Structure 1
């Protein structure tokens, strides 16, 4: 389960690899739950037939899903990862899943704890080819928590007990999980997919295309966050 990552903040890399302009507003490079970071969704007017309207748009949103009914922003501390096995039923995610509110989260690196030495060693995971990762997610709009529109998003996860790389992370007794890393050619398909086709994207990204580097000095989030999905 991913609670810490480096977002793609370079306008050039967002244009080259995701075909979007950088979002308006302040975004973070190092991201923890409830930090504001970019996510990419289908442009709401993409189907009007106007060539001036781009097919995708990058928005700034909170890392941690705030469903429309959530009454406080702190709710997002528990909803930054959504289990694909239960996403269609969990109250926090089911409306976004049913409505096809898909997003791609542009990520340079994600960080996971490697416990094989007996202590947690923060480890950076990235693509070997140097390109950023596009992680499958869901987004939501909430007005109840603050009285103004707040956009937020969550990353989808799958089982990784048999994955060549992600099986090495988290405590030995814990189930191994990994985020859903999309292939470059899947971005538009994922953004357009209805609920009944969404599970087809819940696949492991090949371990041989990824690399992991220990980064023991990586800053820790002082307040902590529990990777539970409500």
Structure 2
């Protein structure tokens, strides 16, 4: 499953939002997105496609009830998205979104150990993957949003089958062709929405090793590194 990705910067967001509601000037987001990070997503608003900031993972950590073991909702399996409590209502209600990105990361074990790889388009163009969003009523009275990315089986995909641990099921994010952006966002029929959940052609994608940079050492109050 994908647990982090590189978000599309403001000046490279899809043209589908340029004439509608682009992100507010004071909105900002990091390049590399992890669980609970705020990132741009595109959803269907009252006047057409719009960009909003949402937290990565359908159920943010702060909304997991006390005493409940932490669980991940960064990725929703296409096969069970209509059944799982974390996603089913939003799936039935057609709360579909696009998650714009420039690339995402997966582990490759072909050398015998996990090596982080960067996966994107062969021409380095930004793209968008299929997602689902929801709203949250916060204790301070505000409304926040969150999202998940949808994945499909990739056991037979020439590129995506190379990732994850040997013996594990192979999965892939659903990359939505640009020609289908509006159709996906406007789809309110769960059964028809499933027709969009397809693997992207491997020949249009590219991947390369991208080991994570070394973690910075932290310093104790006395200045000693640990």
For 2:51 and 2:58, the matched residues in 1 are separated by 17
What residue ranges of structure 2 are gaps of 5+ in the alignment? 216-226
Which 4+ runs in 1 deviate beyond 6 A?
Answer: 73-76
Deviations 1:135-175 (A, max 9, x none): 00000001157653120000000000000100000100110
The CA deviation at 1:56 is: 0.9
Q: 1:127 aligns with which of 121, 132, 148?
A: 121
**TM-align CA RMSD:** 2.3
Q: Aligned pair in 2 of structure 1 residues 76, 26: CA closer, same or farther (>3 Å)?
A: farther
Deviations 1:78-104 (A, max 9, x none): 101000000000000001100000000
Partner of 2:40: 38
How is 1:73-222 mapped onto 2 (pairs within 5 angstroms)?
A: 78-143=72-137, 147-194=141-188, 195-218=190-213
How is 1:36-75 mapped onto 2 (pairs within 5 angstroms)?
A: 36-43=38-45, 45-46=46-47, 55-66=48-59, 70=63
- Say which SS state the counterpart of residue 157 (structure 1) adopts: strand
For 1:145 and 1:203, the matched residues in 2 are separated by 38
The CA deviation at 1:25 is: 2.9
Q: Aligned pair in 2 of structure 1 residues 184, 18: CA closer, same or farther (>3 Å)?
A: farther
For 1:144 and 1:156, the matched residues in 2 are separated by 25
The CA deviation at 1:12 is: 2.0
Greater Cα radius of gyration, structure 1 or 2: 2
- Say which SS state the counterpart of residue 195 (structure 2) adopts: helix
Could you state the TM-score of these two structures normalised by the residue count of structure 2? Answer: 0.84
Instruction: Give the number of aligned pairs.
Output: 208
- Say which SS state the counterpart of residue 181 (structure 1) adopts: coil
Q: Aligned pair in 2 of structure 1 residues 193, 17: CA closer, same or farther (>3 Å)?
A: closer
Deviations 1:178-205 (A, max 9, x none): 0000000110000011223110011000
The CA deviation at 1:219 is: 6.2
- Say which SS state the counterpart of residue 88 (structure 1) adopts: coil
The CA deviation at 1:62 is: 0.4
What residue ranges of structure 1 are gaps of 5+ in the alignment? 47-54, 221-230
